[in-house]
C-alpha cells in the first residue's frame, strides 16, 4: 500500500506540472500495482489513461510495453479478441522500433492466446520464437516465463516428461535470480503435473513449497493456485481435514481475483 500511496502522490504532482513522461510512468506503475493485487478494473483504468497520453505524444517505446501489459490483462480475463488486438499492436510497434524484449513479450502473449484456443502448433512456434530472442539478449526473467508457458503447453497435451523438464528449469532459474513469483508459479505447475500422473507425494511436496512462498509475496492469484493444488491432493488422498482449509483458502482467493 505504501508504494501505491507514493505513486498516487507522484501522479498528483505530475498532473499539476504537466510532465507527461512522469505522468504516464506513474499511471503505468499504479496499474501494475492494482494488477498484482488482483484489482483488474482499476489496473485497466490506469493503463488505458496512460496509453491515451502515450498515443498523443507518439512515445512508441513506452506504448509497445504498455500494450503488452493491457494484452496480458485481457488474456487472463479471458477476452481473447481484445488480448489478440493489443498483442498484435504491441508486436508491430516493437518490431518497428527494434525493441527485442518487447517483441518477445508480444510473441509470448500471442502464443498464450493460441494455447487457450487449443491451436498448439501455432502456440509453440510463438513461444520458441520468443525464447530464441530472450536467450539472445539474456533476459532471464523472460526466459523463465516463456519456459513456464512451454511447460504448461506440454502438460496440457500430456507430454509430462517435457513439462516436468521445463518447470524444473524454471524453478532453478527463478531461485538463482530471486524471482519468487515465477518460482511459485513453476512450483505449482510442477505439482499439478505430478498430480495428473497420480504422484500425490511429489504433488504435495511442491504444493507445500509454493503455498508459503505465495503467501509471502501476497498475490491472490498465486495463493489461489497453491491452495487449489493442495486441496486436490488432499481430496484425492482422502485427507479431508487437510483438504477443507485449502478449499476455503482457494475459494476466498478466487473470489478476490474475480
For 8-60, write each residue's pLDDT tens digit: 665 565 555 555 767 887 888 888 888 877 788 888 998 999 899 899 889 99
Q: 246 with 231: CB under 8 angstroms?
A: yes
Q: 127 with 111: CB under 8 angstroms?
A: yes
pLDDT score of 255: 80
C-alpha dihedral (19, 22, 23, 25), degrees to nearest 10: 160
DSSP H/E element including 87:
helix 80-96
Q: 203 with 170: CB under 8 angstroms?
A: no
Q: 243 with 227: CB under 8 angstroms?
A: no
63 pLDDT exceeds 60?
yes
**Residue 183 class from Cβ within 10 Å (0-12 exposed, 13-18 middle, 19+ buried)?**
buried
Q: For 184-235, how does the pLDDT look when each residue is reduced to its tens digit (9 = 90+)?
A: 999 999 999 999 999 999 999 999 999 999 999 988 889 999 999 999 999 9
Considering only CA atoms, which of 103, 137, 108 is closest in space to residue 124?
A: 108
Amino acid at each position: 500500500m505504501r508504494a501505491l500511496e507514493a505513486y498516487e502522490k507522484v501522479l498528483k504532482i505530475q498532473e499539476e506540472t504537466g510532465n507527461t513522461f512522469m505522468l504516464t510512468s506513474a499511471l503505468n506503475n499504479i496499474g501494475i500495482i492494482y494488477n498484482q493485487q488482483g484489482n483488474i478494473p482499476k489496473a485497466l483504468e490506469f493503463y488505458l489513461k496512460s496509453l491515451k497520453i502515450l498515443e498523443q505524444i507518439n512515445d512508441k517505446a513506452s506504448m509497445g510495453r504498455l500494450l503488452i501489459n493491457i494484452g496480458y490483462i485481457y488474456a487472463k480475463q479471458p477476452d481473447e479478441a481484445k488480448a489478440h488486438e493489443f498483442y498484435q499492436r504491441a508486436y508491430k510497434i516493437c518490431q518497428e522500433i527494434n525493441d527485442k524484449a518487447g517483441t518477445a513479450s508480444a510473441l509470448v502473449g500471442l502464443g498464450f492466446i493460441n494455447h487457450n484456443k487449443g491451436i498448439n502448433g501455432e502456440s509453440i512456434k510463438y513461444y520458441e520464437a520468443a525464447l530464441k530472442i530472450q536467450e539472445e539478449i539474456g533476459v532471464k526473467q523472460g526466459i523463465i516465463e516463456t519456459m513456464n508457458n512451454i511447460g504448461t503447453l506440454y502438460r496440457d497435451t500430456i507430454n509430462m516428461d517435457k513439462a516436468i523438464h521445463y518447470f524444473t528449469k524454471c524453478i532453478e532459474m527463478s531461485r538463482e535470480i530471486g524471482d519468487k513469483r515465477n518460482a511459485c508459479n513453476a512450483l505449482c505447475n510442477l505439482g499439478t503435473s505430478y498430480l495428473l500422473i497420480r504422484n500425490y507425494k511429489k504433488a504435495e511436496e511442491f504444493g507445500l513449497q509454493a503455498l508459503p512462498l505465495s503467501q509471502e509475496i501476497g498475490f491472490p492469484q498465486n495463493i489461489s493456485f497453491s491452495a487449489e493444488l493442495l486441496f486436490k491432493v488432499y481430496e484425492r488422498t482422502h485427507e479431508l481435514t487437510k483438504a477443507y482449509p485449502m478449499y476455503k483458502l482457494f475459494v476466498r482467493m478466487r473470489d478476490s481475483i474475480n
